[in-house]
Structure 1
Amino acid sequence: MERTCKRCQAHFEIHKDEEDFLQKIGFKYGKTEVHPPLPVYCPDCRCQLRTCHRNERNMYKVRSSFSGKDIISVYAQNPPWGDKPFKIYSQEEWRSDAWDPMEYGRNFDFTRPFFDQFAELQQQVPRQALISISNENSGFTTGTGFCKNCYLINSSEYCEDCYYGKLLQTCKDSVDCSYLYNSELCYECFSCYECYHCQYVSFSTNCSDCMFSSNLKSCTNCCLCTNLSQEEYHFMNEPLSKEEYEKRLKDFRGSYPLTEKMRDLYRKTIGTIVRKYANIVSCQNCTGDYVEHSKNCLDCYDVNESEDCRYVQVGVQVKDNYDCSNMYIKPELCYETLGTIEVYGSAYCLFIFHSKRMLYCDFCYHSEDCFACTGLTHKKHCIFNKQYSKEEYEALVPKIIAHMQSTGEWGLYFPSRYAPFGYNESLAFEYFPLSKEEALKQGFLWRDSDAKDRKPQTAAFPDSIADAADSITQEIFCCSDCSKNFRIIPQELDFYRRQALPIPRKCQECRHTDRMHFRNPRRLWNRTCAKCGEAVQSTSAPDRPETIYCESCYIKTVY
C-alpha cells in the first residue's frame, strides 16, 4: 500500500507484514478490541518524532525539586516549552517511598485534546534525573549499568575507566570511542570488537596496536591499512620489517600537527576502499546495517539476536517489534515505543521497564494495563495516574481512544512540541541533523546555548603531550569547531600521557560528531555489487566514493 507522508510529503510503502503486525498487536477492553491504525507518517518521520524525546549526551546541574540539592540531570531545569520548570528528582529520591505519583492523578477532560492534558501531567509528575543502575563513581553518565570510574559515557554497560563514549560494552581504559565492544586501551575507535591498544581504528575485530586503519581482522601493528586479515607490521597495506615499521611511526607520536596529518591520510584512505554492502552477520532475511544473529529483521539498525522486526533502531533480543528505538532484553510485540527493558504488548510509550500492555505511558516500572500514565511503579488499571477498577478501566479507555480518533491524535506518537528536550539536545539530531531554523519550521523545539559555556580560553593548546603541565586540568579551552568551552579532566590527561596522545582541540560533542561521520545514514538504497552485479540493499548511497561488494565477493577479495 502506497501512502504520502503527512509531514514531509514523501511517498512511502506500508508492507503486508506491517498490516499483519498491527492486527496482531491488539488491546482488549472487555468485549472491545483496539488496534493501532496504519501509519500516516513515513518511517523516517516516525523515527525522528520518537527520538526527539531522548537525550543521551547533554547533562545539566539542576536543583532537586525534592531535596533542594544540586544534582546532575539530562533535563534542564526548564523545559524548552512552557514557563514552568520540570520537577526533577535524583534517582535515589525518585525510587524512594517518600512521594506518590498517584497524588497527581486526574480525570480525563473530554473537551480538550489528549496530548495537551498528558503534557500537563508530565510536567507535574517528578522525573528521574538520570537512568543508570549499579554504577560506582560514574555520576556523569546516563543509560549505563555496572560501570566504574566512567565519565560522560552513555548507553553502556560493564565498563571501567572510560570517558566520552557511546555504546561501550565491557570496555576498559578507553576514551572517545563509540560502538566499542570487549576492548581495552582504545582511543577514537568506532565500531570495533575485541581490540586492544588501538587508536583511530574503525570497523575492525580482534586487533591490537593498530592505528589509523579500517576493516581489519586479527591484525597487529598495522597503520593506515584497510581490508587486511591476520597481518602484522603493515604500513599503508605494505608489509615492513618490525624495525622499519617502528621507524615510520615514532616521529608523530604525541604531536598534534603530525597526528592531524595522519588523520587526513586516514580519511582519504577509507573514503575509497572496498566495502561490504552492509554489516550483517549470521542473519537470515535481514536488511539494514549492524544486524547480527537475527532473522526476518527488515530495515533494522544495531539489532542483535532478534526476529520478526521492521524499522527498529538499537535492539537486543527483540521479537515482533515495529517502529521502535532503544529496546533491550526481550521486548516483544511493541509498536512506536522508545527506551524499554523487558516489555510486552505495548505501544506509543517512552521509557517503560518490566511492564505489559501499556499505552501512551512514560517512565513506568513493573506495571501493566495502564493508559496515559507517567512515573508509576507496580501499578495496574490506571489512567492519567488515577486508579480504576478493572471494569472502570475497560469502560473508560475505549472512550478516550474514540475521543483521540475524533481529534486526530490516536495512532500518533507524543508530539515534538512537548518533547522534554530541544531538538539539538536529542538523539534525533544525531541521525537527522537540522539547523535551528529548519528544526523550528518543522515543529521541533530548540535549546539555545548558555553564554556561560563560551568563556574566553585561558591557555594555549600544547602541540605535544610532553608540553602539557598538570595545571592544564585547571584551564578553560574553546572548541576549534563550535567555540564551546571544555576542560581536560585529570584522568583524561593521564591517559593521553600513557598513550602518547596529543591534547584534543575539539570539545567532546564535536569529537563525537566527527566519529559519527563514519556511519552511513539509516537508510537503504538499491545497489549492485561492483564485481558480480548482484542486487543488494545498502546504506551506502550511489554517489558515495566507496566500492560496494556483495558478501561473497567481499569475502573472496579481502580474506
Structure 2
Amino acid sequence: MKKCSLCHGEFEVSIDEVDFLKKINFKFGDKTVAFLEPTQCPDCRNMIRTSHRNEQYLYQRKSDLSGKQLISLYDPLSSRGKNYTVYSQSEWHGDSWDSTVYGRDFDFSRSFFEQFYELNDAVPKMALIAVGNENSDFTTGTGYCKNCYLINSSEYCEDCYYGKLLQSCHDSVDCSYLYDSERCYECFSCRKCYGCVHVYYSQNCSDCFFSENLNGCKNCFLCTNLNNKEYYFMNQTLDKKEYQCRVEEFMGSYSNFKKASEILKKLRCERIHKYSNITNSENCTGDFIIGSRNCHNCYDMNDSEDCRNVWLGVQVKDVYDCSNMYIKPELNYQVMGTIETFHVAFSLYIFHSQNVLYSEQIHHSKDLFGCVGMKNKQYCILNKQYPKEEYSRMVERIVEHMVETGEWSQFFPPQYSPHGYNESLASEYYPLSKQVVTSRGWHWHEDRTQAAYQGEHYPISDNIKAVPEDIIQHILECEKAKKLYKIIPHELRFYKSMKVPIPRLCPDERHKNRMLLRNPRHLWGRKCAKCQSNIQTTYAPDRSEMVLCGECYLGEVY
C-alpha cells in the first residue's frame, strides 16, 4: 500500500496499473521514457485534474483580437483571468495568429511547470471550449451541437438548454446525464426517453412523470422500479381515462409539481436500490457503465474497454486516470477533456491529436511536448518548432530534468488552474472550504455578482397556462440564491407545450439540485441487504437505503 501525498490516505497500485504504465510509455529516438507510479490516490488524482475544468460559470469580457463582447470561461477580474488574452472560437480557429510566435527555449535552470505556465499565460485562449458547433455560443465543453444554450459536456445535440452531459439529444431542457432522448425536462441519468418530466435513472420510456428507475414504460406517474408498464400511478395500474384525469390534476401547476416532487422523495427512500448501474458489461466496477468490459472504478462509461479510474468516457479504450473522454480516445493517461486522441498523457483539452505530452488546448496535431494552443503542428516544445531528431533529444533532456525536479509523472498543479477551486468541476465532487483551498495555495473565486435589479418584482402565475408571453421581457429573481435570471423565448414555448411551470430557481441552483441526485464517484465495501454477500457500491455503508446485489435485485424487481 502507498500513502497519498495529498490526503494521506492509503491506496494500492494494481498490477494492471503497473502493466499499463509500461504500455503507455513514449519513445523518443532510441530511448523509451516511462512514467513513475502515481503518488496520489485515484480520488485526489481526479480532483487535481478536474480543478482545471470550469463547466458552470461564464463571464462577459471583450475579445482581445476584435474588441467584440463575448462570453468566456475566464473571469476578466480574477487574479489569473485578467492577465489572459482571450479570443472568440472563430477568431481562435482563424488564420490571423500563429501559436509558434509565442515559442521559447527551455531553460534547464528553472522548473518545467513555471515555464509552461508563463507560456500558457501568453498564448491566446479560446473563450469557451467548443468544437464544430452551430449557433451555440453560450455552451462549453461541447462538440457538434446546434441551437443549444447553456449546456456543457455535450455532443451532437440540438435545441437543448440548461444541461450537463447530453449526448445525441433534442429539444430538452434542464437535464443532466441524458442520452439519445427528446423532449425531456428535468431528467437525470436517462437514456432513450421521450416526453418525460422529472424522471430519473430510467431508459426506453415515454410520457412518464416524477418517476425513478423505470425501464420500457409509458404513461407512468410517481412510479419506481417498474418494467414495461403503462398507465401506472404510484405503482398501481389504472385504466387510460382515470390515469389521464389523475395526471392532468398536476400538470402545469408549480404548487402541484412541488407536491409531486415531495412524494417522489419519499418513494426514493423506500424503493430497492441496485448496488450499481452496470448494464451489458463484463468485469466492470463503478457506476453507470454500459456496453463495456474490463473497466474498473469507472463512472459514466459507454462502449469502452480496458480502463481504470475514468470519469466519463464514450468509446474509450486503454485509458487510465482520465476525465471527460469522448469519441474513441485510446492509450491516454492523466488527461482531461479529449475528442479522438491517441497516445496522450498529462494534458488538458486535446482534440484529434496524438503523441502529446504535458500540453493544453491542442487541435489536429502530433508529437508535442509542453505546448499551448497549437493547431496542425508537429515536433514542438514550449510552442517552438524543432527538427524531428532535435525534438527527440530535447524531450529526453527535459524529462530527465523533470525527474530531478519531481515534476515528472505529476499533473498540472491546481494552483495554476485558471479557475477558482469553487468554480471548478472538482468542487462538485470534492467540496472544500475556502480555508482549506487557500491553505493549499490554490485559488478561491470571490463571487462579485449581486442582484442589482431594482425594478418591480414580477409575479409568476402558478400555472403555465396563465403565464403571458411578456414574461420573456422581465427579470426574475431566484428564490434560493437571489440571483437574477430570465426566461428565453424557446424556453417559454417548451414549458407551455410540455405543460410544466416556470422554474423559480436560477439555472445554477437547478443544476445543483440535479447533482444532489448523484452518488459520490467512490466505491465502498458493503453487504447485500438480502443475502449478505459482499458488494462494491457507491452507497456508503452508513446510508439507510436498501441496497441489493445484482442477483437479489433481479429477483425483487423483475
Identify the TM-score tier after normalising by the shorter chain: over 0.9
Which residue identity does 2:175 align to in structure 1?
C
Distance 2:145 2:34 in 1: 40
Which residue identity does 1:34 align to in structure 2?
V
The Cα offsets for residues 156-185 of structure 1, whole Å up to 9 and x where unpaired, read as 233222211112222222111111122222
Structure 2 partner of 1:9: 8
Q: Compute the displacement of 1:456 (Å).
A: 4.7
Q: Superposition pairs for residues 157-306 of structure 1, below 5 Å?
A: 157-306=155-304
Distance 1:220 1:484 in 2: 37
Contact 1:456 1:476 in 2 (8 A): no
Contact 1:50 1:337 in 2 (8 A): yes
Q: Compute the displacement of 1:112 (Å).
A: 2.0
Distance 2:377 2:278 in 1: 40
In structure 2, relative to structure 1, the CA distance for the partners of 1:30 and 1:146 (3 Å cut) is closer
Q: Compute the displacement of 1:427 (Å).
A: 1.3
Q: Superposition pairs for residues 359-438 of structure 1, below 5 Å?
A: 359-438=357-436
Distance 2:122 2:451 in 1: 29
Contact 1:454 1:484 in 2 (8 A): no
Distance 1:151 1:107 in 2: 41
Contact 2:450 2:483 in 1 (8 A): no
Q: Which moved more, 1:258-267 or 1:21-30?
A: 21-30
The Cα offsets for residues 299-330 of structure 1, whole Å up to 9 and x where unpaired, read as 00111121111101111221111111111222
Q: What SS class does the counterpart of residue 437 from structure 2 fall into?
A: helix
- Residue 63 of structure 2 is aligned to residue 90 of structure 1: no
Distance 1:444 1:327 in 2: 25
In structure 2, relative to structure 1, the CA distance for the partners of 1:436 and 1:469 (3 Å cut) is farther
Q: Compute the displacement of 1:454 (Å).
A: 5.1
Contact 2:80 2:418 in 1 (8 A): no
Q: What SS class does the counterpart of residue 403 from structure 1 fall into?
A: helix
The Cα offsets for residues 355-397 of structure 1, whole Å up to 9 and x where unpaired, read as 2221101111222221101111222221111111222222222
Distance 1:182 1:29 in 2: 42
Q: What SS class does the counterpart of residue 352 from structure 1 fall into?
A: strand
Distance 1:402 1:3 in 2: 24
Q: What SS class does the counterpart of residue 375 from structure 1 fall into?
A: strand
Q: Compute the displacement of 1:499 (Å).
A: 1.9
Contact 1:523 1:539 in 2 (8 A): yes
The Cα offsets for residues 212-271 of structure 1, whole Å up to 9 and x where unpaired, read as 110111112211110111112222111222233233233332222221111011111112
Structure 2 partner of 1:558: 557
The Cα offsets for residues 136-173 of structure 1, whole Å up to 9 and x where unpaired, read as 32221123233332211122233222211112222222
Contact 1:454 1:478 in 2 (8 A): no
The CA RMSD measured in Å over matched residues stands at 1.8
4+ residue runs over 6 A deviation: none
Distance 2:440 2:451 in 1: 27
- Residue 67 of structure 2 is aligned to residue 68 of structure 1: yes
Choose from 290, 308, 311 the match for 2:309.
Answer: 311
Structure 2 partner of 1:543: 542
Which residue identity does 2:74 align to in structure 1?
Y
Distance 1:297 1:31 in 2: 33
TM-score of the superposition, structure 1-length normalised?
0.96
Distance 2:483 2:446 in 1: 12
Q: Compute the displacement of 1:452 (Å).
A: 4.8
Q: Compute the displacement of 1:335 (Å).
A: 0.9
Q: Which runs of 5+ in 1 are unaligned?
A: none
Q: What SS class does the counterpart of residue 101 from structure 2 fall into?
A: helix
Distance 2:81 2:295 in 1: 43
Question: Percent identity among equivalent residues?
Answer: 53
Q: What SS class does the counterpart of residue 392 from structure 1 fall into?
A: helix
Q: Compute the displacement of 1:334 (Å).
A: 1.3
Distance 1:478 1:448 in 2: 21
Structure 1 partner of 2:477: 478
Q: What SS class does the counterpart of residue 216 from structure 1 fall into?
A: strand
TM-score of the superposition, structure 2-length normalised?
0.96
In structure 2, relative to structure 1, the CA distance for the partners of 1:319 and 1:350 (3 Å cut) is same
Q: What SS class does the counterpart of residue 352 from structure 2 fall into?
A: strand
Distance 1:446 1:172 in 2: 36
Q: Compute the displacement of 1:84 (Å).
A: 4.8
Distance 2:156 2:103 in 1: 38
In structure 2, relative to structure 1, the CA distance for the partners of 1:147 and 1:344 (3 Å cut) is closer
Structure 2 partner of 1:153: 151
